[in-house]
Amino acid sequence: MFGYHVPAPDEAMLISGGKGSNGESPFRVVTGHGSFVMPFFRKVRFLTLAMCEAEVAEACVTKQGIALNVRAVIAFKVGNDEESIVNAGQRFLSDQDQMSVLTGRIFAGHLRSIVGSMTVEEIVTERQKLATEVLDGSKAEMAKIGLSVDSLQIQSIDDMKLGYIAAMAAPHNAAIQRQAQIAQAQANQAAAEAEQESQRRQAEYSRQTAVVQAQYKAEVDRAQAEASQAGPLAQAQAQREVIAMQTELAQREAELRQQQLVAEVVKPADAEAERVRILAQAEAEKMRIQAEAAASYDRVALDRMLIDQLPMIVKEAAGGLAGANVNILNGSDGLGEIAAGLVGQGLSILDSVKKGLGGGEEKKPGTDLEPR
């Protein structure tokens, strides 16, 4: 939108041409959001809030009068508060690269001051102390120009080839060399002992190997001797075992053949004989039953014929009574007695006929006079 400006996340927007936010600053500070700026009547500028870097390479003289070349790197930025932004904006807005130049000069002065109060030994062995004292000495001055320091790192310290630092390190180097030589001698001695131990173990291994080989050869020779002596015996034993196995095989084959003969000849013959016997018994039983049935049939026919003749026999007996002078005393009962007597005579005659024909024999079951 025309007249609306938004600063970047690492920028502060400075709007001049009106009153500041506190009524005293020459411009209004806007960070983190946009703002409408009236064209022609207001002016907008941007101040970086990003991290900046300054390098320092300064020749410093120690407390002992020894010149040292010290290199350091400073990481700084514009403070986040409005006061720091206003201070930095008033000093660096037109040329923001001057922040690194001015910061380097400030730290160079404090670095010379702090190094002049320390010895070479302290500077070399206590670099963090040097950095802390330089930071503490420059903090107030950096705040006045709106800058805050995040870190200070001492990169290198050298005596510009005077040899002081090397001489200072010489005793330590000598001690280290001695320790290295001692360590090397100990390592050589340990290596020699290890070599001797290896040779001793190799010799012991060779001796044990020779003993084992000798024992193995003796065992092989003994086994070969026993094998040469036991050869014929073993062969004979093997032949006996073969013969025994062949005999057992023949017996098994004979048993198998016998079982096959039983299964193929004997059992079928027995089965056929049993079948013939059962058929013969069945045929005989059939003929007996048929004979008994025929005899039973003839008896039944004869009895039926005699029974059929019974009325005629009674009739003939009654005819004999037709001319007789018979007095009946008890009426109808007496007449019934006469009729019963005639039937009894008929049955007696029938029984006599049956006896004459062989019918007096004991009746077998199933030969009664009742028709089946």
Render pLDDT for 141-175 as a digit per residue (tens, 0 to 9).
999 999 999 889 998 998 888 888 888 777 877 88
For 117, residues 6+ apart whose C-beta sits below 8 A from its C-beta are 63
Question: So what's the pLDDT on residue 115?
Answer: 92
Q: Compare 354 and 72 and report the one with higher pLDDT.
A: 72
What's the CA gap between 150 and 84, in Å, rounded?
Answer: 15
User: Could you give the percent of the chain with pLDDT greater than 70?
Assistant: 76
Render pLDDT for 282-301 as a digit per residue (tens, 0 to 9).
888 888 887 887 777 666 66
Alpha carbons within 13 A on the beta-carbon side of 37: 24
What's the CA gap between 113 and 61, in Å, rounded?
Answer: 9
What is the pLDDT averaged over residues 37-49? 86
Q: Compare 368 and 170 and report the one with higher pLDDT.
A: 170
| Contact call for residues 54 and 104 (beta carbons, < 8 A) | yes
DSSP letter at 162?
A: -
DSSP letter at 363?
A: P
DSSP-derived pairing of the beta strands 27-30 and 35-36: unpaired
What's the CA gap between 354 and 255, in Å, rounded?
Answer: 72
Band (pLDDT 50/70/90 cuts) for residue 337 is low
Q: Is the dihedral of CA 239, 240, 244, 245 positive or negative?
A: negative
User: Could you give the percent of the chain with pLDDT greater than 90?
Assistant: 19
What's the CA gap between 15 and 45, in Å, rounded?
Answer: 7
Q: Assign 262 to helix, strand or coil.
A: helix
Render pLDDT for 11-33 as a digit per residue (tens, 0 to 9).
998 888 766 555 567 888 898 88
Class of domain 4-165: alpha beta
What is the pLDDT averaged over residues 317-334? 53
Backbone angles phi, psi at 153, to 5 degrees: -120, 125
Render pLDDT for 203-214 as a digit per residue (tens, 0 to 9).
888 888 888 888
What's the CA gap between 301 and 295, in Å, rounded?
Answer: 10
Render pLDDT for 76-130 as a digit per residue (tens, 0 to 9).
999 989 899 999 988 998 899 999 999 999 999 999 999 999 999 898 888 899 9
Helix axes 164-229, 231-261, angle to 10 degrees: 70
Structure tokens at 80: 């986040």
Helix axes 82-92, 98-116, angle to 10 degrees: 100
Lowest-pLDDT choice from 131-140, 249-258, 309-318: 309-318
Question: So what's the pLDDT on residue 371?
Answer: 40
Cβ atoms within 10 Å of 314's Cβ, excluding its own: 19
For 296, residues 6+ apart whose C-beta sits below 8 A from its C-beta are 364, 366, 367
Q: Say whether pLDDT at 339 is over 80.
A: no
SS (H, E, C) 29-79: EECCCCEECCCCCCEEEEEECCCEEEEEEEEEECCCCCEEEEEEEEEEEEC
Render pLDDT for 255-291 as a digit per residue (tens, 0 to 9).
887 887 777 777 788 878 888 888 888 888 888 887 8
Average pLDDT, whole number, for the chain? 80
Q: Residue type for 70, please?
A: V
Q: 52-61: string of b/e by CB count within 10 Å (b at 16+)?
A: bebebebebe
What is the pLDDT averaged over residues 127-143? 90
Q: Residue type for 369, please?
A: L
What's the CA gap between 203 and 210, in Å, rounded?
Answer: 11
